[in-house]
Structure 1
Amino acid sequence: MSSLRVAVEPEHDPHVVGAVSDAGAELVPLDHAQILVWLGGPDGFPELPDSVEWVALSTAGIERFVDAGVLDDRRVWTNASGFYAQGCAEHALALLLAGTRQVVASARSRWAKDTVDPAVRTLRGATVVILGAGGIGRALTPMLAACGASVIAVNRSGRQVDGADLTLPASKTDEALTLADHVVLAAPDTAETRHVINDRTLALLKPHSWVVNVARGPLIDQEALYRALVGGVIAGAGLDVTDPEPPSLDDPLFSLDNVVITPHVANPAGRLTTEMAPFLAENLRRFAAGDDLISQVEVGRGY
């Protein structure tokens, strides 16, 4: 393991540097590295020397790197998909409960019991659809089950998600939505997932449904969402991401009592490298052993 040479850029983070040390690897300048751990965004991404065999990105969503043309097919790339799953799953559950238990409406009123009380719902016996049931979905499923909800997981392949009551391929998204009481979005932002929630798919939901997004803003057609919220097509929305992001201060969603918006904090920046470090150390061990890496990117797909 001591032969592994790792560069950490654009700055040395103590948690990441500690993970490199824990894995028995050597911290070196980029010019001498086999591995680059990149903690920044696509802006300022360096020209890579031929010696770099693997680039470890610190974000789960890498569409900005794809758009910037950073990825190539000359080396292995990994993202942080699944590294932050537990925290994002907690946040998704918090947003869903804030909506269904009418915490949002209560916080914006002064003891409006007559209007709030009839709208309170429970997750017990409810069906929650998770669109894009990868790492976040796998972490969220037992949390929802503990609340008494049934889970329908939707992923690209339709491969069974442990703990889910039903797993469907993405081609059957419409079928899943017709069965849903509530929907959680946890998918990557790709051409296939862009505006997966739109006027047509919102109409498949129920008037008591809440839509929660802890993934990427472009998964939702935000104008269609606004129409559904004011028109009573669905009950509400919990958003940790928006499109555009950040939203303008006069975005009409802020004016609605059935919407809660948090400022992209499901995976707070202050904990990013803390959460990433053990996964990085494991991937360094796997790289040294010639094993498959966690969260390896399919360059052609962009995730």
Structure 2
Amino acid sequence: MTSAPAGGPIAIVADTEPRFAAAVRSAGGEVAPVSEATRGLVWTHPAGEAELEQLLQRHPAISWVQLPWAGVDAFAGLLRRHSGDGRTWTSAKGSYAQPVAEHALMLALAVLRELPRRIRAGEWAHDELGRTLHGARVVMVGGGGITAELLRLLEPFGVHATVVRRTDAAVPGAARTVTTARLLDVLAEADVVVVTAALTEETRGLFGREAFAAMPRGAVLVNVARGAIVDTGELVAALGSGRLGGAGLDVTDPEPLPAGHALWTAPNCIVTPHVADTDDMTVPLFAERIAANTRAFLGDGAFVGVVDLEAGY
């Protein structure tokens, strides 16, 4: 349990987007370069944890750190090392739920309708392949903001949705919620599986040979979370054998996916280059998160997107 951070000047590193500074000021905060007086830090630097850790070591009085992404796996080591230092850490989790959920829906529809193969076709080849999302059994692995938004988008399709998460607390819009211990059970009933979970030691490689074997033949996979949650070799094998009916991937392992990789030409597979939420979409959303957490930093309300240092997200 962290104590409430002490208010003071907020630094933005690296400050290349004026809307972020404007968000701090709109919430009553003071934006200033990093100094001994700095108490809040909005980290927007493209570099990872090493550079951030060096800055925090030089300025130990910083009591609140806002991270730029919904997932914090790039900072996992730093967060473990600083778990007892009393800082408040917030991420962008939940901020980008709308565009990512929209992208997940697009991928699911495209794969179900055999779009990857049809786009590549060079001649008219009529067949009766293609399935509807209406009434489908959808399993969502992860119970955060993306899942909540995707459940809302799926309402008109009348799907039967199951959410798999750490606890079995009910999720609005889902027919049922189960814990990860029951993953294989619910995969056996899935038409569509959507991965939205955070990457942690528990979820790394969660979708491997056993998970794909549990899914009904022809089921499809959509991953808009992190590539390392899925074993790429097993995914390629499942697509090639026909066990998996298709895949829509905005994230891969490795990433970026090398030219010539088997996933580029795998049957009924779409790969988009981690663009479910582009800068045009995320900058105003992240600015809203910065403003909300600046207000909390100054004592007006609660922080949003607080990182659970024990869970790792």
TM-score normalized with structure 1 length: 0.93
Instruction: Work out whether 1:87 is the aligned partner of 2:99.
Output: yes
Instruction: Work out whether 1:114 is the aligned partner of 2:122.
Output: no
Cα displacement (A) at 1:272? 2.7
- Corresponding residue number in structure 1 for 2:11: 7
Between the aligned partners of 1:182 and 1:123, the Cα distance in structure 2 is 9
Instruction: Work out whether 1:16 is the aligned partner of 2:7.
Output: no
Residue 47 of structure 1: which of 31, 43, 55 is its match?
55
Contact 1:144–1:150 (8 Å) recurs in 2: no
Between the aligned partners of 1:185 and 1:220, the Cα distance in structure 2 is 9
Write out aligned runs for 1:113-152 (5 A). 113-115=125-127, 118-152=128-162
Specify the code of the residue in structure 1 equivalent to 2:296: R
Please give the secondary structure, in 2, of the residue aligned with 1:153. strand
Q: Structure 1's 20 and 290: CA in aligned 2 closer, same or farther, altered over 3 A?
A: closer
- Corresponding residue number in structure 1 for 2:247: 237
Residue 287 of structure 1: which of 276, 281, 297 is its match?
297
Structure 1 unaligned runs (5+)? none
Between the aligned partners of 1:15 and 1:162, the Cα distance in structure 2 is 33
Between the aligned partners of 2:9 and 2:138, the Cα distance in structure 1 is 45
- Corresponding residue number in structure 2 for 1:207: 217
Cα displacement (A) at 1:62? 1.5
Specify the code of the residue in structure 2 equivalent to 1:82: G
Count of aligned pairs between the two proteins: 299
Cα displacement (A) at 1:194? 1.0
Please give the secondary structure, in 1, of the residue aligned with 2:55. coil
Deviates more, 1:274-283 or 1:221-230: 274-283
Contact 1:54–1:77 (8 Å) recurs in 2: yes
Contact 2:90–2:306 (8 Å) recurs in 1: yes
Write out aligned runs for 1:219-258 (5 A). 219-258=229-268
Contact 1:89–1:137 (8 Å) recurs in 2: yes
- Corresponding residue number in structure 2 for 1:26: 30
Q: CA RMSD in A?
A: 1.7
Specify the code of the residue in structure 2 equivalent to 1:92: A
- Corresponding residue number in structure 2 for 1:173: 183
Between the aligned partners of 2:119 and 2:218, the Cα distance in structure 1 is 19
Deviates more, 1:206-215 or 1:290-299: 290-299
Deviates more, 1:292-301 or 1:119-128: 292-301
Contact 1:38–1:55 (8 Å) recurs in 2: yes
- Corresponding residue number in structure 2 for 1:157: 167
Please give the secondary structure, in 2, of the residue aligned with 1:26. coil
Cα displacement (A) at 1:109? 0.9
TM-score normalized with structure 2 length: 0.90
Contact 2:240–2:267 (8 Å) recurs in 1: no
Cα displacement (A) at 1:291? 4.3
Contact 1:238–1:259 (8 Å) recurs in 2: yes
Residue 285 of structure 2: which of 275, 291, 298 is its match?
275
- Corresponding residue number in structure 2 for 1:67: 77
Specify the code of the residue in structure 1 equivalent to 2:96: Y
Q: Structure 1's 112 and 221: CA in aligned 2 closer, same or farther, altered over 3 A?
A: farther
Specify the code of the residue in structure 2 equivalent to 1:44: E
Deviates more, 1:222-231 or 1:282-291: 282-291
Q: Structure 1's 263 and 27: CA in aligned 2 closer, same or farther, altered over 3 A?
A: same
Cα displacement (A) at 1:147? 2.2
Deviates more, 1:249-258 or 1:131-140: 249-258
Specify the code of the residue in structure 2 equivalent to 1:47: L
Please give the secondary structure, in 2, of the residue aligned with 1:203. helix
